Amino acid sequence: MEVSFTKEEIFWLILAGSFFTLFMSAGVALLYFFYRKRLSDQLLKTSKLELKRKTELLESLVRGQDQEREKIARAIHDELSSKLAVLQISIEHLKRVNKNENQEETALISETIEKLIKSTENISHGLVPPDLEHAGLIQAVNGIVEVINKTDELAIEYTWLNSNSGPRNMENELGVYRIIHELIHNTLKYAKASDVKLHVEMGPKSISILYSDNGAGFNVEHAMNNGLGIRSIMSRVDYLNATYELISSPKKGMTFKLND
């Protein structure tokens, strides 16, 4: 049986076929779009989880280092220093009892013990700065600056602004203190600089620093990949969840900005 269509029927069949093809194409395109979006969301979620994991790991590492420093410092101060002090008292008693015997030996032992006490105190203070704990970041940094300025190795111009009258964040203060300490150490060791400018600002919820020297400068990308000092600073910055800017080039000094 032969089927025939009128021109009008053929037109509507072609139109219906076109609409069907367009609908199917749109459906496939939508399915592909939603598939790519789901894949992209999954990748983004995975990246965020990985970043969170790395941040938590870094935070745990830095906090563990600081806690270990505090533990060692307390052990040195409480155990070693106190025992040396008792030993020194015993030697002084021995000197008084045996006035005319072994005076040179006991004097030498007493002097050695006194030096050991001073050394343990210095080590303990270096691990957990007492100025930072008792007087705060501004004064702790000032203590470093005063000592270095007296050596004539480096002239540091130190200014500050403290508008924080609320509770202190000791972890953040310690982190910033370590960063400043590392910056000064790097300048002294590598930069061959004569002058440093350091400005510290403390607000109710933030700490910012601006540090610059007139030293030899360096290639920032190379230092970020190979410099232990710079990587140590970056670890501290990441731990503080702060923003920073590091500007330097050979023979043009260095500038470092931090906003916590």
CB proximity list for 193: less than 8 A, separation 6 or greater: 154, 187, 213, 214, 215, 216, 253
Rounded Cα distance, 121 and 9, in Å: 102
- The domain spanning residue 174 has which CATH number? 3.30.565.10
Give the global pTM.
0.56
Q: Are residues 112 and 13 in the same domain?
A: yes
Average pLDDT per 10 consecutive residues for the chain, totaling 260 residues: 58 61 67 71 68 57 59 58 64 67 70 69 60 85 89 91 88 88 87 95 93 94 80 83 93 93
Q: Are residues 149 and 110 in the same domain?
A: no
* Residue the block writes with tokens 């691990």: 127
Q: Are residues 171 and 237 in the same domain?
A: yes
The pLDDT value given to residue 212: 97
Q: Residues of 193-211 as b/e, b for ≥16 C-beta within 10 angstroms? A: beebebebbbeeeebbbbb
The pLDDT value given to residue 14: 65
The pLDDT value given to residue 80: 63
- The number of folded domains in the chain is 2
Q: Among the three residues 128, 146, 176, which one is the final residue of a domain in this structure?
A: 128
Q: Are residues 62 and 89 in the same domain?
A: yes
What is the SS3 assignment for 100? coil
Q: Are residues 82 and 42 in the same domain?
A: yes
Beta-sheet strands, E only, within the chain: 155-162, 195-202, 207-213, 243-248, 254-259
Domain containing 3 equals 1-128
Residue 201 near residue 211, CB atoms below 8 Å: no
Q: Among the three residues 105, 128, 151, which one is the final residue of a domain in this structure?
A: 128
Residue 30, CB-side half-sphere exposure with 13 Å CA sphere:
6
The pLDDT value given to residue 254: 96
The pLDDT value given to residue 202: 94
Q: Are residues 88 and 209 in the same domain?
A: no
Rounded Cα distance, 212 and 223, in Å: 16
The pLDDT value given to residue 114: 72
